Each structure stands twice: as structure tokens, then as C-alpha cells.
Structure 1
Amino acid sequence: MNQGTTIEDREGFAALLLRLRGKGSVPKALIAAFEATPRRGFLDGLYHSIAWSDRMLPIECGEAMEGADLQAAVIAALALEPGNRVLEIGTGSGFTAAVMARLAGRVVTIDRYKTLVEQARQRFEALGIANVVARQADGANGLPNEGPFDRIVAWAAFDSLPRFLLDQLSSGGTVIAPIGPEEGEQVVAKLTKVGSRFEREDIGIVRLQPILPGVAAVI
């Protein structure tokens, strides 16, 4: 933790580590990337005291930041490597893109809300993170003209298996996305590209917002 952190922040991070270790081993590189990324800086001051909690926390545009435990589990499952090219669907606060940028080669993060994209850019710049590109775009179909990506992660749910993302992946690449109905629980699926098909491994249950087509006209 850097010198600007509070006792509250350090205690919150320590509690996160205990929860994660209770669920199994946690890659050291992931812990270091989380520790180097000040989560409070991605949240309204109201939520600084619970920044490292497993709660969904409100951000701008009526959206929410996923709990730290879920973010850590998903990023760990991506098994990022230094040269990887990553597509993130759902920039949100920008926290997960900032973490992944410390573990991968290049991250392209997209969101339907211009406000979120602009705020995330400012945060990346303030942290000196230069290998992230943030842009406003419709993530419902991925980024078909910019692949292939080695890893794709979505923070909003698809109602069915997003097979179209297969074409945007490099061979052996991985997609992690929630799949399931708009109302109720969804399964977080890890899909690995093998030839012209996916191998699927389910890694958890979540309740996230459905992916919305198009971009927001105003915010």
C-alpha cells in the first residue's frame, strides 16, 4: 500500500486477502496489482470505508462496481500474461482495467456511457497507466473489427452463450462472461477457444445487469 492509504484502507485490503485465501490460492502478481491500484480513487467518498468489500457499490450513470472478491476471482481466472491483448466490455469505474493493465500487454476497455469512459481515462492518466485504451462503444457484439484478443471479459450478462466472441479471440484465448436471464442469477462462464469451438468451465454465480445494446446518447 502506498503512503497515502489510511489504516481503514489497509485493514480493508487485509480483510479482502483473508477472504480470497480462504477460497484458495491467489496469484501473487494479482495481489500486487490490486495493492498498487488505489480502489478508493475509483469511488465516491461515501464508499471509501468499504472500498475493499464484497458489496456492489454505486458509481455514476446508475451503474455499480462489482465487489472486490468477484473482480479478483474473475481476473485470476483470466490467467493474464504480460503480452496479452485484452478486451473489457463494461469499463465502469475503470478499476478492473487498471488492475489488468498491470498484468497484461494492452487493455481495450469499452462502455456505453461517455461519462464513465472519460472518468476512467482521467484515472488511468493520474496513475500513469499508459497501456489502456478506453472508449465509448456498443459492447453487445464485442469489438469485431479490432481482434483478435487473447482475453475478453464482460461485466454484464449475456442471455445466451456469446458465440460471436469466438471470432474475436486468438487461438487458445479465453472469454469470461456472465450468462443467464435478465432477472435472477447468472452463471459466470470461462470459455476457452479450442479450434472452432469453446470449452466451457463455470466458475461462479452472480446477479449482474444485462448487457444493453447501443451507446448512451447523453451521459
Structure 2
Amino acid sequence: MAWFGKSGAGGAAVDLAARQDERAALVAAIARRMRLDRPLGLPALSPRVAAALMATPRELFTPADQTPYAYQDQVLPLAAAQTLSQPSLVALMTELLDVHPGDRVLEVGVGSGYQTALLAHLGATVFGLEVIADLARAAERRLAALGIRNVTLRVGDGHGGWPDAAPFDAILAACAAPAVPPALVDQLRPGGRLLLPVGPAGGAQQLCLVEKGRDGRVRERPLLAVAFVPMVGG
């Protein structure tokens, strides 16, 4: 099991002004889409998540041959048969997780690090797990280039979570498990929430919100149909 330290040391400077108009157009499109979905009980795009999207250059988190498509609302391929989720879904998941400054957040399936950067921008202390070492190393370099310091990455299997960093105020998984992993529920602080896709690889999956009450009782609520890569290991 490999470890990476806190991001923020080294890395080339990033020009945040580059493609800013494209970012703004994408954020506006996401806001419109989320307003249309709001009658389904899903949240609208908040100013703070919109600001995080504007501050995060998605092209930095895409493979070189995919950067022309960075600001299209679509899934993009990553190495090792992994994917970068479409921005509207990333924004929705960020809203549903309801992260606040100072929260301890576990992210399972860091991938390129794009979701990680958004959570860090919202002020969370993020503990990121990625089972593919090359992806984790690349994500660490990208986060460092943005000067992000409130993230610690680790290479490992997400099913078991990160027990020595628990409890967490929120947990987000960007990979689908056949059922909600008990270890993740156990590592959730009372009053916290866990958001993850549940279902078989290539089959019907639901994005589920798992909430642990202050009394420790757990409620699981399916929200919408999704399609994610499987959570490896377990």
C-alpha cells in the first residue's frame, strides 16, 4: 500500500484564466440543468459549488487527447479503463454531500482528482483513496499544481475505507459497490452522510444517499439511476 503526502508542494503554475469563458458557460449550463431537475427533489446549484467549479480547471484533470472536450458535459475516459464523470453529475454529487469548511471527507475513487479539487475548494480536509497507483500519482501532481494543501492521498481498496483517519463527516464514492460497504457506514460520524452508486458493474445502478442520524440510526435513500465503474477489491 503506497502513501502520498499532503498536496501543495511543487508542481507547475496553472493559468486559471485560460478557458475561463468555457468554464463559465459550462457552469451556467449545469445551473440550468439542475434547476430543471429540482422538481425531482434534487438540489439547485449553490453559489459556493459554482465558485468551486469556476476555480477548478477541468482541462488539467483530463488526458492530453481529451482536453478539447474538457468543458462539454460528458464523461471522459481516463487510463486503466476508468472515467471522469460528467461535470453536471459531479456538481450534483457535491451539492448532495453538503460539505462545509473543516469537514473531514473520505473520497473513494479519486480518479483524475477533479472531484477531490472541488471538495478541497469547499474547505474540507479530504482523504482520498485510489486503487490504481498511476492515477493516484497523477492526481497528486495535478492537485499540487493548483496549490491544494488540504488533501492526503493513499493507494488502496475503497471497500475498507480509511479506518485510522475516521470518523468522517462525509464520504463520497465515485465507483459502484454491489451493496453499501459496512466499513464505510461504520466510519461515518453520527449526523454524517455517505453518497455512492450501488449496483452491479454494467447493470442497473442507483446513486444512494446514506444518512447516519445523531442516534446512530442509518437511512438509505436511492436518488437516481447512474452508471459508474465498479469499486475494485473488497
Q: When the two structures are superposed, what TM-score results if normalisation uses the length of structure 1?
A: 0.90
| Cα distance between partner residues in 1 of 2:132 and 2:20 | 31
Distance in 1 between residues matched to 2:127 and 2:19, nearest whole Å: 28
**Partner AA of 2:59 in structure 1:** R
Separation in 1 of the partners of 2:25 and 2:203? 33
- Residue equivalent to 1:139: 158
1:187 paired residue among 206, 227, 234: 206
Q: Deviations over 1:47-101 (max 9, x none)?
A: 2232233322111222110111111111100011111000000010000000000
d(CA) in 2 for partners of 1:212, 1:45? 25
Whether 1:15 and 2:36 are equivalent positions in the alignment is: no
- Give unmatched runs, 5+ long, in structure 1: 215-219
Question: 1:6-61 CA deviation, whole Å, 9 max, x = no partner?
Answer: 65454344333332333332111000001100001111233223223332211122
Between the aligned partners of 1:162 and 1:106, the Cα distance in structure 2 is 22
1:49-88 alignment runs, 5 A limit: 49-88=68-107
Q: Which residue of 2 aligns with 1:217?
A: none
TM-score (normalizing by structure 2): 0.85
Any conservation in 2 of the 1:166–1:197 contact (CA below 8 Å)? Answer: no
1:122 counterpart SS class: helix
Return the structure number with greater relative CO, CA threshold 8 A, min gap 6.
Answer: 2
**Distance change in 2, residues 1:14/1:45 (3 Å):** farther
> Structure 2 vs 1, CA of residues 28 and 11 (structure 1 numbering), >3 Å: closer, same or farther?
closer
CA distance in 2, matches of 1:82, 1:63: 29
**CA shift in 2, pair 1:75/1:8, >3 Å:** closer
Per-residue CA distance 1:142-162 (angstroms, 9 max, x = gap): 112220010001111111132
Q: Which residue of 2 aligns with 1:206?
A: 226
* SS in structure 2 at match of 1:161: coil
Identity of aligned residues (%): 33
Q: 1:168 to 1:190 in 2, by over 3 A?
A: same
| Contact persistence 1:86–1:104 (CA under 8 A) | no
Return 5+ residue gaps in structure 2 as ranges.
Answer: 1-14, 39-43
3-state DSSP of counterpart to 1:3: coil
Hey, what's the Cα distance between the residues in 2 that align with 1:196 and 1:163?
14
Output the CA distance in 2 between the equivalents of 1:212 and 1:81: 29
| 2:131 corresponds to which of 80, 87, 112 | 112
